[in-house]
């Protein structure tokens, strides 16, 4: 039945002796089960010179393990009627399958095999192949995309040398090409240990039976210490705003503003997230109504706050209309940020952002994979699979003044970075 | 643990319970609108869509893109509400509103909390029945679209797709982008939009599709009240001329020159079959095997064997007429010729050899198994209902389609591959640096180079 209260995902949390955390959520609506495994490792655990390793490593996890043949991961999942994928980000890497319910054991077997028995199946040949695949992925997503290098440049300007959020998750081309089997082995041994992972199952199963299956496949994988957390280096004294202009194969100029905000989970992070929604989520948002609708100087606008755990990156982006200079767009964005810092937002803008958060939460809970991913996310970041309730409470309790205060403290910062992408050869 | 753990063999499942598409209600309103609705008490959400057979196949020849443009104006003003009021109304409730059109149909979609379902339905009815196409909004959307057309010239994948469409269909339907070109967009008048709307947005060509936390009876009752005011047009519109691919004598190769590109967007294709073709189910199996899933022949060849690409796909478009069959991949500039050759070889292999039984069984099992995966959310169900409505498919379409997939034999796959795959007359399009591409592609046939649009 539909819950008339607030969105929630009833669950159990267990911890195996080797430290693996297991979250279980029953949902018998359809005969499906989502298997969702998060490792608390991402690009922030890399070092300069070997950027992109976490993501390249994610690719290697689909190349087979001791008992799983090279192309068998996808083959086995697809032959039973399942879907599978993985993704890498700054703080975490995840792997997931949605399977017909009777195939739960297959999903557990696959995940346990690559958690426990990857190294014996690693070969130079597989690595060489996946290096080429990832180099092509980078070209497709970054180097051959209009504006493709802008975010990379923004992060380089925003974060100091050695900061783990300075380099792109996909890594630099030369670093990807330089990755060795030893790098991959080392990365696996350090980070892919049971205590650094969360396994969530959501769907059509009996929890007691499912837990028994999990214990069976994962229980005897050896325990190893959790890797030490990464610390951000101390910031050098501020040198003021940093800027770059990137000529690119584009027709319309685009402006990116980057700011550094409190880490995901801090009360202020939620104020920032709500401010981002008030400013740019939907056609009735403040920036859209002014820049796109009324003045028609921008083609599109966006404000994003990353849920990252060392600190959060806030990005404001707007694409100019033909004939409009990047500088005019930047001035308009600056005006709005100054306004957000000077006065609290309109009550209607806050109410809209609040309602959007609630609708989005319910939408995430419509699918078993959506729920599983959310439970893994909260457990990885907060050790609390039930964090959704308190997050929604936090959102609900925010006052207009909290948004103003966030803007005043974090968006008027002289540590900000600006990247403008302009048509190569000048003139739109 | 009592039994010994055997990790050496995959624990493969026995058969699960089969999932059927949920029963749905089909209710006609007096003015001809048909309601297709499913109650889904999963989350307090509803998804509502008004779909109308007013897609881009109906674009007047000198007004390509008019269908999407007209659909985009439906939420830009009614007799009662301005553009900004409409957006603020839906978004203020936490909901989202979208309008648009594809080749088959135009649509308006609203998703919101079910507590607001009445307001959502009322708004949807108002937008589809009482748009006023304000002059200022027409001009604003025109500028927006002209800028969008400029922006798309920077997108290598779009350049390749559009060139392929032009090569296959010329100036006719399916030959341009859904949003038209600069000349057409510059020429739309407010009267064009209104005329397209009056002619094609007819209640008896329209469907209200609904899924989620709602009661079907209540929905039908409210829909009747709100959509009542939407009159039938005086005269029925003539059915659209069927899209017709250009005749093809042999392989063609087109390079869209982007001298500084870091990669090449490669497309290989030809005209396919209409959505409602008797071979559709067997083609779905053949295409999945060829390029429709991760473990397809083309993806394993280009990505896992050769490392030429991050991913390769193939698909048969689902349109009322014979839309394109397209294979695509973004490949390294130095391997584009080799990648094209591998793709042509895989196409030929599909035609020459019946598929091995294990590969066929895995493919059928995949297509049947993932079916419930696409039935989870209210949006999923509305999309599936729209497919039935827009294409005029029977209510038991999904059951029949799954049964036909299950019954597809190796000989069927070989037959549809021979009938519907035509590598000898395929069009190859490569958007990338001509200097590097030309010598590689010339080994396959004569090459035409044209600059990317400036």
**ipTM field:** 0.95
- The residue of A52, A72, A86, A140 whose CB has the most chain B CBs within 10 angstroms, and thus the best one to mutate to test that interface, is A140
- Take residue A35 and report the two structure tokens written for it: 């298997």
User: What's the order of all strands across the beta sheet hosting B45-52?
Assistant: B25-28, B34-39, B206-212, B45-52, B106-113, B96-101
Q: Which of B84, B370, B378, B437 to mutate to test the interface with A (most CBs of A within 10 A)?
A: B370
- Asked whether the beta carbons of residue A132 and residue B19 sit closer than 8 angstroms, the reply is no
Say yes or no: B112 contacts chain A, CB-CB below 8 A: yes
Out of A84, A284, A366, name the one closest to residue B378 (CB).
Answer: A366
Residue A219: count of CB within 10 angstroms of its CB:
16
Residue contact A136–B377, C-beta within 8 A = no
Nearest CA in chain A to B370: A81
Burial status of residue B186 (CB atoms within 10 A of its CB: 0-12, 13-18, 19 or more): exposed
Cβ atoms of B201 and B106 closer than 8 Å: yes
Return the residue of A nearest to B7 by Cα. A67
Nearest to A352 among B92, B111, B261 (CB): B92
Q: Establish if B108 touches chain A: CB-CB under 8 angstroms.
A: no
CB contact under 8 A, B310 and A80: no
Q: How many CA atoms lie within 13 A of B379 on its CB side?
A: 15
Q: Which residues of B touch A35 (CB under 8 A)?
A: none
Q: Which of B308, B317, B366 is nearest to B342 (CA)?
A: B308
The model's pLDDT over B91-140, given as tens digits with 9 standing for 90+, comes to 999 999 999 999 999 999 999 999 999 999 999 999 999 999 999 999 99
- Return the number of CB contacts < 8 Å for A and B: 227
DSSP string, A206-231: -HHHHHHHHHHHHTTSPP-PPPPPP-
Q: Which of B5, B303, B369 sits opposite A216 (nearest CB)?
A: B5
Which residue in the set B19, B331, B370 is minimally distant from A31, CB to CB? B19
Task: Outline where B201-335 has alpha helix (H).
Answer: 216-227, 280-287, 297-299
Assess contact for B67 and B54: CB atoms under 8 A: yes
Task: Look at residues B269, B55, B324 and name the one whose alpha carbon lies nearest to residue B178.
Answer: B55
B77 reaches A (C-beta below 8 A): no
Q: Is B146's Cβ below 8 Å from some Cβ in A?
A: yes
**B6 Cβ under 8 Å from any chain A Cβ:** no
Contacts of B295 in chain A (CB under 8 A): 71, 74-75, 78
Count of Cβ atoms closer than 10 Å to residue A225 Cβ: 10
Residues in B closer than 8 angstroms to A4, CB to CB, are 44
Q: What is the pLDDT of residue A426?
A: 53
Answer yes or no: do A75 and B295 touch at CB < 8 A. Answer: yes
Q: B337 to chain A nearest CA, in Å?
A: 16
Task: Mark yes or no for CB contact B10/A106 under 8 Å.
Answer: yes
Asked if the C-beta of B376 comes within 8 angstroms of chain A's C-beta atoms, the answer is: yes
Rounded distance between C-alpha atoms, residue B98 and residue A368, angstroms:
25
CB contact under 8 A, B91 and A356: yes
Task: Give whole-number Cα distances, B52 to A406, B95, B251, in Å.
Answer: 45, 22, 37
* Minimal C-alpha gap between A314 and chain B (Å): 23
Structure tokens at A408: 């005043």
**Alpha-carbon distances, residue B184 vs A37, A362, B59, B70, B452 (angstroms):** 50, 42, 11, 13, 20
Please answer yes or no on whether A113 and B7 come within 8 Å at the CB atom.
yes
Are B275 and B319 in contact by the 8 Å Cβ rule? The answer is: yes
In A221-363 the beta strands, taken as DSSP E runs, fall at: 242-248, 254-261, 298-305, 312-320
The pair of three-digit structure tokens given for residue A98, joined into one six-digit string: 């949605």
Is B16 a residue whose pLDDT tops 90?
no
Q: Under DSSP, is residue A418 helix (H, G, I), strand (E, B) or coil?
A: strand
The pLDDT, as a whole number, for residue A300 is: 98
Q: To the nearest whole angstrom, how far is the Cα of B172 from the nearest Cα of chain A?
A: 28
Reference A91, options A140, A131, A42; nearest CA is A42
The dihedral sign for the CA sequence B396, B402, B407, B413: positive
C-alpha A13/C-alpha A29 separation (Å) is 22
Question: A82 to chain B nearest CA, in Å?
Answer: 6
Do B310 and A133 lie within an 8 Å CB cutoff? Answer: yes
Looking at chain A, how many residues does it have?
428
- Total number of residues shown for chain B: 454
Judging contacts by C-beta atoms under 8 Å, the chain B residues touching residue A217 are 5
Q: Spell out a b/e string for B165-183, using b for 16 or more CB atoms within 10 Å of the CB, else e.
A: bbbbbeebbbbbbbbbeee
Q: Select from A220, A352, A365 the Cβ nearest to the Cβ of B43.
A: A365
Tell me which chain A residue has its CA closest to the CA of residue B362.
A79
Contact between B91 and A283 using a beta-carbon 8 Å cutoff? yes
Give pLDDT, residue B3: 64
Q: Which residues in chain B touch residue A249, judged by CB atoms under 8 angstroms apart?
A: 154, 258, 260
A21-26 vs A197-203, strand pairing mode: parallel
Q: How many CB atoms are closer than 10 A to CB B416?
A: 25
Contact B200, B53 (CB under 8 A): yes
- Residues in B touching A68 (Cβ below 8 Å): 10
Instruction: Taking residues B309-325, report their average pLDDT.
Output: 97
Distances from the Cα of B20 to the Cα of A31, A83, B368, angstroms: 11, 19, 10
Residue B440 Cα, gap to closest chain A Cα (Å): 19
Extract the residue ranges of chain A whose pLDDT is less than 70. Answer: 1-4, 413, 426-428
Q: Which two tokens stand for residue B57?
A: 């196949």
State the pTM of this model.
Answer: 0.96
CA–CA dist A170, A134 (Å, integer): 8
Structure token digits, residue B331 = 């490949």
Q: Scanning every residue of chain A, which has its alpha carbon at the shortest distance from the alpha carbon of B259?
A: A249
Which of B426, B415, B83 minimizes the C-alpha distance to B266?
A: B426
Angstroms from B281 CA to nearest CA on chain A? 17
Residues of chain B with C-beta less than 8 angstroms from the C-beta of A132: 307-308, 332
Token representation of residue B237: 């519109």
Angle between helices B336-352 and B410-420 (to 10 degrees): 130
Residue B237 confidence class, pLDDT cut points 50, 70, 90: confident
In A, which residues are within 8 Å of B362 by CB distance? 75, 78-79
Q: Mean pLDDT, chain B, as a whole number?
A: 95
Task: Check if the beta carbon of residue B301 is closer than 8 Å to that of residue B340.
Answer: no
Calpha distance B173→B192 (Å, rounded): 18
B332 lies within 8 A of chain A by CB: yes
Whether B143 and chain A come into contact, CB under 8 Å, resolves to yes
Report the residue from B16, B87, B303 with minimal CB separation from A284: B87
Which chain A residues contact residue B144 at CB under 8 A? Answer: 299
B314 touches A at CB < 8 Å: no
Residue B94 to residue A352, Cβ atoms within 8 A: yes
B7 touches chain A (CB under 8 A): yes
For residue A102, the chain B residues in CB contact (below 8 A) are 13-16
The CA–CA distances, whole Å, from A166 to A39, A153, A169, A403 equal: 21, 9, 9, 27
B43–A352 C-beta distance less than 8 A: no
* Rg of chain A on CA atoms, in Å: 23
């Amino acid at each position: 039945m539909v819950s008339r209260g607030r969105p929630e995902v009833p669950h159990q949390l267990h911890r195996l002796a080797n430290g693996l955390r297991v979250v279980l959520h029953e949902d018998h609506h359809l005969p499906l089960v989502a298997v969702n495994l998060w490792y608390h490792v991402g690009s922030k655990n890399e070092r300069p010179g070997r950027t992109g390793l976490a993501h390249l490593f994610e690719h290697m996890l689909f190349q087979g393990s001791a008992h799983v043949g090279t192309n068998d991961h996808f083959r086995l999942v697809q032959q039973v009627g399942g879907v599978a994928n993985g993704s890498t980000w700054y703080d975490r890497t995840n792997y997931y399958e949605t399977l017909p319910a009777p195939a739960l054991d297959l999903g557990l077997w696959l995940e346990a095999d690559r958690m426990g028995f990857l190294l014996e199946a690693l070969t130079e040949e597989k690595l060489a192949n996946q290096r080429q695949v990832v180099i092509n992925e980078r070209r497709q997503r970054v180097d051959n995309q209009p504006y493709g290098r802008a975010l990379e440049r923004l992060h380089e300007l925003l974060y100091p040398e050695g900061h783990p959020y300075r380099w792109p998750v996909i890594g630099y081309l030369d670093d990807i090409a330089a990755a060795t089997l030893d790098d991959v082995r080392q990365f696996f041994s350090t980070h892919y240990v049971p205590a650094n992972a969360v396994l969530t199952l959501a769907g059509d199963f009996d929890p007691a039976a499912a837990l028994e299956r999990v214990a069976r496949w994962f229980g005897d994988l050896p325990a190893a210490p959790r890797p030490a957390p990464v610390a951000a280096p101390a910031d050098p004294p501020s040198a003021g705003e940093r800027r770059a202009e990137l000529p690119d194969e584009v027709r319309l100029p685009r402006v990116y503003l980057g700011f550094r905000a409190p880490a995901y989970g801090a009360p202020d992070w939620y104020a920032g997230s709500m401010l981002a929604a008030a400013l740019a989520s939907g056609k009735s948002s403040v920036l859209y109504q002014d820049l796109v609708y009324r003045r028609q100087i921008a083609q599109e606008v966006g404000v994003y706050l990353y849920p990252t755990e060392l600190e959060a990156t806030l990005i404001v982006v707007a694409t100019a209309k033909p004939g409009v200079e990047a500088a005019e767009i930047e001035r308009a964005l600056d005006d709005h940020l100054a306004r957000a810092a000077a006065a609290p937002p309109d009550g209607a803008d806050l109410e809209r952002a609040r309602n959007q958060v609630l609708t989005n939460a319910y939408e995430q809970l419509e699918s078993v994979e959506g729920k599983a991913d959310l439970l893994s996310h909260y457990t990885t970041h907060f050790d609390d699979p039930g964090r959704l309730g308190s997050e929604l409470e936090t959102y609900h309790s925010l006052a207009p003044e909290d948004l103003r205060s966030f803007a005043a403290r974090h968006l008027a910062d002289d540590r900000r970075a600006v990247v403008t992408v302009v048509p190569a050869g000048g003139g739109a | 643990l009592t039994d010994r753990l055997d990790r050496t063999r995959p624990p493969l499942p026995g058969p699960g319970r089969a999932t059927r598409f949920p029963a749905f209600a089909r209710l006609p309103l007096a003015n001809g609108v048909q309601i297709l609705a499913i109650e889904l008490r999963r989350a307090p959400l509803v998804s509502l869509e008004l779909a109308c057979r007013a897609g881009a196949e109906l674009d007047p020849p000198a007004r390509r893109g008019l269908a999407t443009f007209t659909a985009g104006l439906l939420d830009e003003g009614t007799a009662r509400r301005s553009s900004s009021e409409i957006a603020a109304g839906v978004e203020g409730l936490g909901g989202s509103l979208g309008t648009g059109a594809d080749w088959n149909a135009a649509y308006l979609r609203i998703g919101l909390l079910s507590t607001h379902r009445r307001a959502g339905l009322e708004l949807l009815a108002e937008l589809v029945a009482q748009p006023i196409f304000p002059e200022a909004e027409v001009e604003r959307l025109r500028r927006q679209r002209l800028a969008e057309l400029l922006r798309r010239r920077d997108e290598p994948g779009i350049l390749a797709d559009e060139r392929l469409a032009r090569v296959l269909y010329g100036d006719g339907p399916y030959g341009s982008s859904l949003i038209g070109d600069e000349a057409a967009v510059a020429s739309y008048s407010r009267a064009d939009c209104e005329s397209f709307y009056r002619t094609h947005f007819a209640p008896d060509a329209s469907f209200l599709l609904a899924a989620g936390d709602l009661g079907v009876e209540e929905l039908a009752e409210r829909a009747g009240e709100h959509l009542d005011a939407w009159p039938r047009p005086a005269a029925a519109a003539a059915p659209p001329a069927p899209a017709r691919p250009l005749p093809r004598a042999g392989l063609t190769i087109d390079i869209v020159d982007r001298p500084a590109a870091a990669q090449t967007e490669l497309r290989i294709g030809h005209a396919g079959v209409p959505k409602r073709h008797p071979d559709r189910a067997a083609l779905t199996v053949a295409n999945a095997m060829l390029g429709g899933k991760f473990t397809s022949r083309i993806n394993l060849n280009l990505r896992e064997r050769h490392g030429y690409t991050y991913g390769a796909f193939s698909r048969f478009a689902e349109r009322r007429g014979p839309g394109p069959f397209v294979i695509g991949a973004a490949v390294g500039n130095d391997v584009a010729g080799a990648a094209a050759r591998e793709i042509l070889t895989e196409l030929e292999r599909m035609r020459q050899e019946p598929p091995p039984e294990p590969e066929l069984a895995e493919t059928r099992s995949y297509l049947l198994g993932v079916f419930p995966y696409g039935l989870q959310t209210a949006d999923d169900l509305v999309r599936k209902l729209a497919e039935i409505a827009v294409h005029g498919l029977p209510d038991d379409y999904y059951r029949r389609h799954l049964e036909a997939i299950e019954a597809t034999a190796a000989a069927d796959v070989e037959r549809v591959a021979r009938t519907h795959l035509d590598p000898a007359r395929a069009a190859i399009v490569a958007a990338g640096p001509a200097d590097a591409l030309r010598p590689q592609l010339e080994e396959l046939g004569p090459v035409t180079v044209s600059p990317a649009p400036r």
